[in-house]
Chains A and B, each alone.
Chain A
Amino acid sequence: MKRYGASPVHLLAHLAALALAAWALLQVPGLGNWQRIAVWLVAAVVVHDLVLFPAYTVAGRLVGRSPFVRIPLALSALLLLVFFPVMCGKGEGAYTRVSGVEWDGYAERWLLVSALLFLGSGILYAVRSRT
C-alpha cells in the first residue's frame, strides 16, 4: 500500500463510505428537481468556506481583538444567522396559512437580547478594568 499512501483499512473504510454515499446520491435524481438539490449541496460548502468564513474573519478584525466586544457580537450574529428567516418573516405566509395566527416581534426581541448582551459585556469590561 506504499503507492496508495495509507493502510488497507483506510482504503476499505473510504470505499465503503463512498459506495453508501453514492447510493444515497443516486436516489436524488428520482426525487424531482434534483438539480436544485445538487446546487444546494455545492452551495453549502461554497457559502460556508468562501463567504461566511471570510466574512466573520474580516468582521472580527474590524471590531478589534477584545473578547468583551467579540463574544457578545458573535452571540448576536449567531442568533441572527440561525433565526433570520423568522425575523425577516420569510415563512410568514406559510405559517399563517397552517396555524391561523400571525407572526410578530421576532426582530424586535433579537434586538433587545442583543442590547442586553452588549450592555452586560460592557459592564463586565468596566468592572474588570477597574480592579
Chain B
Amino acid sequence: MKGPPPGPFRPGFFRSPLRGPRLTAILGLTLLGLVAIVAVTGFLSHAAYQPDLGNNAIVEPDLPLTFFDWPTGPSWLYALNQGLHVNAGLVAVPWLLAKLWSVMPRLFAWPPVTSAAEAVERATIALLVASTIFLFATGIANIQYWYVFDFDFVKAHSYAAVVFAAALGVHLVVKLPVALRSLRGRAGSELRDSPLVAIAPDAPVLSRRALLAAVGGGSAALLVANAGESIGGPLRRIAFLAPRRDGGFPVNKTAAGAKITEAMTGPAYRLVLAGGGGEIALSREELLALPQATHTLTLGCVEGWSTRQEWTGVPLLELARIAGVRDPSQLTVGSLQPQGILRQATLAANQVADSRSLLVLKVGGVDLEPDHGYPARIIVPGLPGVHNTKWVGRMEFRA
C-alpha cells in the first residue's frame, strides 16, 4: 500500500505538544455548554415570534417548538433571551476555533476512511462543522447589519440550526463518553495512542492551563466589546465594538425608512378598531382621553440589544372593550407602513390580557417621536422588539 500524501497527511506533521484528548475534551465540553445556550435561546426566539398566529410566520412553524404561549413576564425576558443568544455566541467563537484547532490532525487522517462506520461519522462531522461555521458567520454578519448573504437570513439561519442540532446530537452520542473518560483520566491507551497527540512534539512554551486562559481571555474581550448593548444604560458606551452602542432610545426603523408621511400621522390620523361587528375610528385626541397607564418595560431586539423606557398609553384590554370583544383570543395589529413583512403582528390572548400591554402614546412623559411610532405604537412585555408594531393604524380583536 502506498504511504500518505505529503504535508499534513504525514504522521509527525502536527507538532504542538498541547494537542491531545484531554485538551479536546475540555475545549469541547466548554464549547458544548456555550452552544447549548445559543441553540436553546435560538429556538426559544423562534417560539417567541409565535409563527402559528396570523401572518407572523417568517419561518414556517413546522417543527414542534411552539407548543406553549410565550410569557409576558418578566418584561426583560426576550431581551435576556437574545442577550444570551448573541453574547454566548460571541463568547463561543474562540472556543470553537480552539476546538477545531485541537482536532485538526483528524481532518488529515490517512487513510481518510477505514470502515463504513467511519465514513458515516466523517460525513456527519462535515455537516456539523459546515452548519456551525455557517450559523456563526451569518449571525455575526447580521448583528453588524452586513447583509452580505443574498438569501433570507432568518430562514437559512433557522434551518441550518436544525442541521447543527442533529449533527451535534449524534456527535455527542459518539464523543461524549470519550471526552468524559479522557477527563477522568481513565482512557489509558486511548489517551496515549490518540491520533491527536503529536508523534514528534515541539518543546512546550505554553502550558495547557495557559492556553485555556488565553482562549477564555478571547471570550472576555469579545464579551466586553459587545455585552453593553444588550444590558443597555451607561454600559452601552463601554461596548467598544458593539453595533448598537448609540445612546438614548435606539431606533431600528425610521419613519422615513418605513415610508410614513406627515399626511398619514397628521390631523387626519384615525386608529381603526375592529372585531366586535362594526369598526370604530379614533383620533389621537380621543385616544389621549381614554384611561391611561404608565409602565417601565424593557424592549429587546432579536439582534441582542435592548432599551428600558417608561411607556404611557391605553391598555390593550381597554381597547378590546371599546371594540366590543370580551376576552379576545387574538389581536392583529397593523401598521400604517405600506410595505414589509413585519408591518403587522398577531398577539396571543395572554399578551392582550396583560395589564402592562399598551397602545403607547408617550414615552418618558413626552409624545412619541415619529421614528418611535407616532401617533401610536404597541408595547407588550417580553415580546420580540419588532412585533411591538409602530405607527399603528388598525387593531383587529378576535373573540
Contacts and interface: CB of A to CB of B under 8 A. Distances in A.
Contacts of A32: 151-152
A33 B151 contact: yes
A9 B379 CA distance: 50
Number of chain A interface residues as a range: 35 or more
Contacts, number: 203
Q: How large is the interface on B (under 10, 10 to 19, 20 to 34, 35 or more residues)?
A: 35 or more
B222 A79 contact: yes
A71 B225 CA distance: 18
A76 B254 CA distance: 35
Contacts of B166: 16-18, 20-21, 24
A113 interface: yes
Residue among A34, A81, A86, A109 with max Cβ neighbours from chain B (10 Å): A86
A98 B115 contact: no
Given A14-B124, A91-B243, A71 B133 contact: no
B117 interface: yes
A45 B146 contact: no
A13 B134 contact: no
A83 B241 contact: yes
Given A9-B173, A14-B120, A45-B133, A86 B93 contact: no
* A interface SS class: helix
A28 interface: yes
A44 B342 CA distance: 30
A17 to B, nearest CB: 4
B194 interface: no
Given A5-B116, A13-B173, A78-B222, A90 B144 contact: yes
A85 B152 CA distance: 19
B263 interface: no
A20 B145 contact: no
B107 interface: yes
A99 B252 contact: yes
Contacts of B123: 18
A66 interface: yes
Interface string A44-79: 110111000100000000000111001100110011
Interface string B169-180: 110011000000
A9 B132 CA distance: 24
B167 A17 contact: yes
Contacts of A48: 100, 129, 133
Contact of B144 (A70, A86, A110): A86
A130 interface: no
Given A17-B166, A28-B159, A67-B210, A45 B130 contact: yes
A10 interface: yes
Counting from the closest, the 3 A-B pairs by CB-CB distance are A5-B115, A91-B145, A5-B117
27 contacts: A10-B120, A11-B117, A11-B120, A14-B120, A14-B124, A17-B167, A25-B159, A31-B151, A31-B155, A40-B138, A40-B156, A41-B134, A44-B132, A45-B126, A45-B130, A65-B205, A75-B218, A78-B221, A79-B241, A81-B93, A82-B90, A85-B140, A85-B145, A86-B146, A97-B257, A110-B240, A110-B241
